[in-house]
Amino acid sequence: MHVRLLDMGMVSVLRSQSIYHGITESMTADSEPAISIMRPEAPYVSTGYFQEVNKEVDTEYCRENRIPVIRRHVGGGAVLLDQNQLFFHLMLPSARAREFGLPRALEARFETLAKPVILAYHKLSVNASFRPINDIHVNGKKIGGTGVGEIEEGIVFAGSMMFDFDTELMARVLRLPDEKMRDKVRAGLNDYMTTMKKELDVLPKLEDVAEALLSSFEEIFNITLVPSMPTLEEMDKIYEWDERLRSDSWMNDIQLAEKDLKHVKISSNVKILQAAHKARGGLIRGTLRVVDGVVDDVCISGDFPMSPQNCLKEFAHTFQGARLDRSELEKRLHKALAELEVDMAGVDENDFKQLFEQVTP
């Protein structure tokens, strides 16, 4: 099978996201799959599709220090990205997922997609292995995460090869309650993360890492990479994503809907309730606006994976109009999970029940 190879070299911060978004959205059932590799020209923060940006990132610090923040259409958590990482994106039509041997289950899909990345590290003498749900580790330390996005009829698998990582800046751009916690996060990153710079006596050249990665994709998926560039149609989509990714509406899409409380009667009891729960598949956050004991709006966010990705808001909407009662919320939860057929790798019904326990009497 022929797969297009788009070696984009060094690109702008915005284009390091908009290129793969635009190409993935352009996919139709009979489109040729593509792989892109690139590096950004400057550091920036990328937040996951399901994250509420202002809860995860110190946006004021980033703005003051001219560090862009871009929300991506791929799950996972907030991460610092820079020139010390070689980004890769496998983009294919959903209809052709079986040709790559991709399982339907999200967790199994992550493991299959990680195989070429792990093989590439092995070729570079780095002892990488897969760690569920979607991480790549070296001797117990994380060297990178992977993510999957679903954009219209296309699927994108995204990740990076990690030359080095600025743990100091990563700890600084996160929104944390105080400096004591920031010091703790920084120490954790230093202890828990690794890079090729840490693992190898001599850091490999960029071209050698790219060769190891691309040849591994060819071997694992039995494909032949053919050099290519974005088509005119894809460029139109890339331009659209340029605008979308830097818009406030895209950035703040995951949050409680704005409500003019002047229209809520004076006697109403309005509460904003928040909860967080760490599931095996990631952090889940819940924010509920409750008016006179009835759930008025719900925002569910976090770094957990979810498929189909467009179900999150519908899932959250399930709880609107419910009494703030644990039993009623759990009944709606069970019904929603059954009807929507959502796959949240490493997250199950009991995780959401634990979230509700924190906000109900």
Is there a contact between 298 and 317 (Cβ–Cβ < 8 Å)? yes
Cα angle at 346 between 145 and 130, to 5 degrees? Answer: 40
Give the separation between CA 39 and CA 37, rounded to whole angstroms.
7
Backbone angles phi, psi at 265, to 5 degrees: -60, 150
Give the separation between CA 25 and CA 7, rounded to whole angstroms.
19
Backbone angles phi, psi at 11, to 5 degrees: -130, 170
H/E stretch holding 312 reads helix 312-317
Is there a contact between 195 and 184 (Cβ–Cβ < 8 Å)? no
Cα distance from N-terminal residue to C-terminal residue, the chain: 57
Bridge partner list, 273: 288
Supply the Cα-derived Rg of the chain in whole angstroms.
21
| Site of tokens 């894809």 | 234
Reported pTM? 0.94
Q: pLDDT tens string for the chain (361 positions)?
A: 999 999 999 999 999 999 999 999 999 999 999 999 999 999 999 999 999 999 999 999 999 999 999 999 999 999 999 999 999 999 999 999 999 999 999 999 999 999 999 999 999 999 999 999 999 999 999 999 999 999 999 999 999 999 999 999 999 999 999 999 999 999 999 999 999 999 999 999 999 999 999 999 999 999 999 999 999 999 999 999 999 999 999 999 999 887 654 444 444 688 899 999 999 999 999 999 999 999 999 999 999 999 999 999 999 999 999 999 999 999 999 999 999 999 999 999 999 999 999 999 8
Q: Which domains does the chain have, with CATH numbers?
A: 2-251 (3.30.930.10), 261-357 (3.30.390.50)
